[in-house]
Amino acid sequence: GAVVSQHPSWVICKSGTSVKIECRSLDFQATTMFWYRQFPKQSLMLMATSNEGSKATYEQGVEKDKFLINHASLTLSTLTVTSAHPEDSSFYICSARDLGGQYEQYFGPGTRLTVT
Amino acid sequence: TQLLEQSPQFLSIQEGENLTVYCNSSSVFSSLQWYRQEPGEGPVLLVTVVTGGEVKKLKRLTFQFGDARKDSSLHITAAQPGDTGLYLCAGAKDNFNKFYFGSGTKLNVKP
């Protein structure tokens, strides 16, 4: 159980375009989902916390107008990278907290974004 | 600035050796989790520790949460090549609404 999927698994886009990444909890409901960014050979950096039905909470230094987060249902959160630039190229990972659980967060497989 | 510091950053050992990875902070956490991550994949949860002083064992892996809930350690006995990967600790704050990751320890176990 506790499976989280992400789509797409990798995407290449041109500079200036927008890209949407989906995060789904497949077998549980998640009121809270988290979005992380990971650069090569580095740890995960929390970008924002997404709560179902309310606005996302962004970490300091993360532009909310550039990284749009929508958490429309208990099983889906989306991250849209708007007007992407090469420096936005990274590995984006989401995680979800089980509504019925307490401490754990379960991670998706990640999305590799390359902006050319 | 990383809230959680892991050491060592890199570790390359022979199969059968023991090792310990440390995760330290000046902050108190509600809980602390350990993950292992393979390249190009999301982290996989190994364990969650919640109580100060708690020790959990998972086969050859032993996890300990510091008494003050500011630090943790992961000890692997008789390491195997399958243990190779990036080990990450993550601390929870704000009533488990935020998780902060450590800097990571890249482990390579040579056969």
pLDDT digits (tens, 9 = 90+) for B18-74: 999 999 999 999 889 999 999 889 999 999 999 999 999 999 999 999 999 999 999
Give phi and psi for B103, each to the nearest 5: -75, -15
Which amino acid is it at B107?
L
CB-based contact (8 Å) between A43 and chain B?
yes
Percent over 90 (pLDDT), chain A: 71
Q: Which residues of chain B have a Cβ shorter than 8 Å from any chain A Cβ? A: 2, 30-31, 33, 35, 40-45, 48, 50, 88, 90, 92, 96-104, 106
Percent over 70 (pLDDT), chain A: 95
Q: Looking at beta carbons, which residues of chain B come within 8 Å of A102?
A: 96
B97, B107, B108: best to mutate for the A interface, most A CBs within 10 A? B97
Angstrom CA distances, B74 to A96, B6, B67, B89, stand at: 24, 11, 15, 9
The per-residue pLDDT for B84 is 96
Q: What angle do CA A107, B60, B69 make, to 5 degrees?
A: 60
- Residue B91 · residue B98 · CB < 8 Å: no
Distance from chain centroid for Cα B51: 16
Angstrom CA distances, A14 to A82, A84, A86, A115, stand at: 11, 8, 9, 6
Q: How far apart are CA B17 and CA B23, in angstroms?
A: 20
Q: Compute the average pLDDT of residues A31-52.
A: 89
Q: How far apart are CA B76 and CA B59, in angstroms?
A: 9
Q: Compute the average pLDDT of residues A86-115.
A: 88
Indicate whether B1 pLDDT > 70.
no
pLDDT digits (tens, 9 = 90+) for A44-67: 999 999 888 888 999 999 999 999
Shortest CA distance to A23 belongs to which of A3, A45, A1?
A: A3
Residue in A with minimal Cα distance to B31: A103
Residues with Cβ within 8 Å of A61's Cβ and at least 6 positions away in sequence, in order, are: none
Indicate whether B82 pLDDT > 70.
yes
CB contact under 8 A, A110 and B2: no
Q: How far apart are CA A73 and CA B87, in angstroms?
A: 32
Tokens of A112: 């590799």
Residues with Cβ within 8 Å of B2's Cβ and at least 6 positions away in sequence, in order, are: A43, B102, B103
Give phi and psi for A2, each to the nearest 5: 60, 55
Which of A43, A91, A108 has its CB closest to that of B101? Answer: A43
Residue in A with minimal Cα distance to B50: A103
Which of A44, A95, A103 has its CB closest to that of B31? Answer: A103
CB contact under 8 A, B101 and A36: yes
